Amino acid sequence: MTFNSNEQNAAARNNDVNETSNHRTAMIALWQAVLVTIITTIGGIVTGYIALPHKIDPIEQQGLGNVNIEGKWKYVCTKFGGKYQHGGRLNIQKGDDGSLILCGQRTWCDTKDSLKKEWTQKIYPPSEYLNWHSNWIFARNSTQIHLEYEIPMESGSIIGYCTGNIISEYKIARIIQGNYYVVNAMPISTGKMIFKRVSDQEYLSSAPLSEDHH
């Protein structure tokens, strides 16, 4: 009986140690997520303030004289934490005044079940596409792009920012990758984003960019 009691006590101590270790690991992961959110949110706000003059004169200061970003693209946004993705397509054109305008549509979203480790994908019907557009776009040295985008909603517009590095070939942008920030909606959403130039056929397809999916 004493032997069994000692075994039970040892097992209980091991369980306590494991629970403490798991709790500590969970708390570290939580604080890491909080810090990432705070840092990236500050980055989005700073981007907005830095770009403020470009709202006044976007044509003069767009800074895209040496690279062409016009055309059709697809994009994937992955929220920090890895449990949510969304994406779709976008088209960048020149407006009547010569300034660049981005018009996008969110066509799908994926969510991950933390317990089952499984993804659930939802592809929206065309009537439910979420439309969004840029308010301003500017670049630095034709290698970095910054933009403010707006998602009109019934309850009010959601404002977000994207900052990314431009990967170009023969002065034509092929890939833009960086981060996105949404700071005027709860919960705050921040994460990684990637834009890839696509053909007309790929643009019309509702399928996500397979190589950047999950």
The least confident of 51-60, 72-81, 155-164 is 51-60
Determine, yes or no, domain membership for 36: no
Per-residue model confidence as pLDDT tens digits over 175-185 = 999 999 887 77
- pLDDT greater than 70 at residue 84: yes
Determine, yes or no, domain membership for 29: no
Determine, yes or no, domain membership for 18: no
Confidence band of 72 (pLDDT split at 50, 70, 90) = very high
Average pLDDT of every residue of the chain: 78
Residue spans of alpha helices (H) in the chain: 2-50, 52-56, 58-61, 200-204
Q: What is the pLDDT of residue 190?
A: 87
Per-residue model confidence as pLDDT tens digits over 94-128 = 877 777 889 999 999 998 887 877 888 899 999 99
- pLDDT greater than 60 at residue 133: yes
Asked whether the CA dihedral 146, 201, 104, 79 is positive or negative, the reply is negative
Task: Find tokens 């933390």 and name the residue.
Answer: 114
Q: What is the pLDDT of residue 53?
A: 53
CATH number at 131 reads 2.40.128.120
Q: What is the pLDDT of residue 206?
A: 78
- pLDDT greater than 70 at residue 20: no
Determine, yes or no, domain membership for 1: no
**Is this structure's pTM higher than 0.85?**
no
- For residues 41 and 95, what is the distance between their CA atoms, to the nearest angstrom? 30
Determine, yes or no, domain membership for 43: no
Contact 105, 118 (CB under 8 A): no
- pLDDT greater than 80 at residue 75: yes
Structural domain count of the chain: 1
Determine, yes or no, domain membership for 62: yes
The least confident of 49-58, 145-154, 199-208 is 49-58
Determine, yes or no, domain membership for 108: yes
Determine, yes or no, domain membership for 25: no
- pLDDT greater than 50 at residue 59: no
Q: Percent of the chain having pLDDT more than 90?
A: 34
What is the extent of the structural domain holding 150? Answer: 49-212
Amino acid identity at 120? T
